[in-house]
């Protein structure tokens, strides 16, 4: 049985199969509308979510399956002190597959150790968010036609942003990918990622706090929100939250075929005026998230 806890749990070829299946589904939705008939997906969300939880639920419903779950720790027995291990032991007999989001890094790994059904990590603290990465890769592939030979700008909270960590881990496996990591000094990528992934892998990257300067080089700009809930004090958050705001003026420096991605939710980091730019694809990206999750559910259930 396979789980998806880290983006690296899928090999490059397995990942390609999931992305290809996502494309097939996008082209022919009707063909897949009852492939998961009789199957149930449990969504165990101990942390807030809009897109991830609802796109998982939409994905399972689109496949003809059913969904059950909870959307906050308060409404589950976690509030009574139940462990993740006990919860998953029980859920294993209620559902065929589950997606879990948890504020603690490693919680989905613990769940997988005690689970009889595939566990999908839907975000664990500041650590990983592999299904957002599948969505990001799907979007990049749809729009650029490739995952190699790209210059990827990542901007915002690179320290706490789990989507950034997972995307870097996944993208370093492709040829000739260069990263321009734009953030305030305090919000640079964690040291383990810098040393163990980028430096050790001999990956071309720079860390900077100048967005405009590098704009003309980018093929993709991955904007992120400053992760307020992971700050130790509110003053630091307020000081750093508006460090980078993408607006129409800055977009003038970008290539015609540079695309702006964002995992959403957006706060202030992209001005609303950018939404009308054809290169702003974050809402499209959120839509793609459903197809790629359909492909993932089918794959983990052995139905692909
Ligand atoms: C992201 C997350 O939860 O990490 N949201 C999402 O799943 N699309 C990004 C964020 O919260 O900033």
List, as one string, the DSSP characters of 180-235: EEE--GGGPPPHHIIIIIIITTT-EEEEES-HHHHGGG-SEEEE----GGG-S-HH
Beta bridge mates, 222 = 154, 261
Residue 77 has pLDDT above 90, yes or no: no
Residue nearest to atom 12 of ligand 1 (CA): 225
Which tokens sit at 33?
């509308």
Q: Other C-beta atoms within 10 Å of 42: how many?
A: 23
Ligand 1 centroid to Cα of residue 163, in Å, is 7
Query: Which helix (H) or strand (E) is 167 found in, with range?
Result: helix 162-171
Examine the pLDDT at 65 and tell me if it is beyond 90.
Answer: yes
pLDDT band at 191 (very low <50, low <70, confident <90, very high): very high
Question: Helix or strand or coil: residue 44?
Answer: strand
The number of the ligand 1 atom at minimal distance from the alpha carbon of 122 is 7
Rounded Cα gap, residues 289 and 297, in angstroms: 12
Residue 262 known to be catalytic: no
Active site residue 37: no
Distance CA 165, CA 213 (A): 23
Q: What is the mean pLDDT of residues 17-22?
A: 98
Mean of the per-residue pLDDT values of the chain: 97
Evaluate: CB of 263 within 6 angstroms of ligand 1: yes
Mean pLDDT for the stretch of residues 49-60: 96
Burial status of residue 78 (CB atoms within 10 A of its CB: 0-12, 13-18, 19 or more): middle
Look at residues 126, 101, 109 and name the one whose alpha carbon lies nearest to residue 42: 101
Other CB atoms within 10 A of residue 20 CB: 14
Q: What is the pLDDT of residue 225?
A: 97
- Secondary structure percentages of the chain, helix, strand, coil, to 5: 45, 15, 35
Which residue is catalytic, options 40, 101, 262, 266?
101
DSSP 293: H
Instruction: Find residue 180's DSSP bridge partners.
Output: 153, 206
pLDDT in tens, 244-265: 999 999 999 999 999 999 999 9
- The CB of 126 under 6 Å from ligand 1? The reply is no
Taking each helix axis from N to C terminus, what angle separates 84-91 and 107-114, rounded to the nearest 10 degrees?
A: 50
What confidence tier does 1 reach under pLDDT thresholds 50, 70, 90? confident
pLDDT at position 12: 97
Which pLDDT does position 75 carry in this prediction?
83
pLDDT value at residue 68: 97
Q: How confident is the model at residue 169 (pLDDT cuts 50, 70, 90)?
A: very high
| Residue 52 annotated as catalytic | yes
pLDDT number for residue 243: 93
Q: How confident is the model at residue 84 (pLDDT cuts 50, 70, 90)?
A: very high
pLDDT band with cut points at 50, 70 and 90 for residue 287: very high
pLDDT band with cut points at 50, 70 and 90 for residue 79: confident
The proportion of the chain whose per-residue pLDDT surpasses 70, expressed as a percent, equals 100
């Amino acid at each position: 049985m396979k789980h998806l806890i880290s983006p690296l749990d899928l090999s490059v070829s397995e990942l390609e199969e999931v992305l290809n299946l996502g494309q097939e589904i996008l082209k022919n939705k009707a063909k897949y509308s009852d492939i998961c008939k009789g199957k149930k997906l449990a969504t165990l969300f101990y942390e807030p979510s809009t897109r991830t939880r609802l796109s998982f639920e939409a994905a399972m419903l689109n496949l003809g399956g059913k969904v059950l779950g909870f959307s906050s720790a308060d409404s589950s027995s976690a509030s009574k002190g139940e462990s993740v291990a006990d919860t998953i032991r029980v859920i294993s007999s209620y559902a065929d597959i589950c997606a879990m989001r948890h504020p603690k890094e490693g919680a989905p790994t613990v769940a997988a150790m005690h689970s009889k059904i595939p566990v999908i990590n839907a975000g664990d603290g500041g650590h990983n968010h592999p299904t957002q990465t599948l969505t990001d890769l799907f979007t990049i592939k749809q729009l650029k036609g490739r995952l190699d030979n790209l210059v990827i700008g990542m901007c915002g909270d690179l320290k706490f942003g789990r989507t950034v960590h997972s995307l870097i881990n996944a993208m370093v496996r492709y040829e000739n990918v260069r990263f321009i990591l734009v953030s305030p000094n305090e919000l640079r990528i964690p040291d383990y990622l810098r040393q163990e992934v980028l430096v050790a892998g001999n990956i071309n990257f720079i860390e900077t706090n100048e967005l405009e300067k590098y704009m003309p080089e980018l093929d993709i700009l991955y904007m992120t929100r400053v992760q307020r809930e992971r700050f130790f004090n509110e003053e630091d958050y307020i000081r750093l939250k508006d460090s980078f705001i993408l607006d129409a003026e800055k977009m003038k420096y970008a290539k015609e075929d540079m695309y702006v991605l964002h995992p959403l939710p957006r706060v202030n980091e992209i001005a609303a005026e950018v939404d009308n730019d054809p290169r702003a694809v974050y809402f499209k990206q959120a839509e793609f998230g459903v197809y790629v999750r359909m492909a993932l559910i089918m794959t983990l259930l052995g139905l692909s």
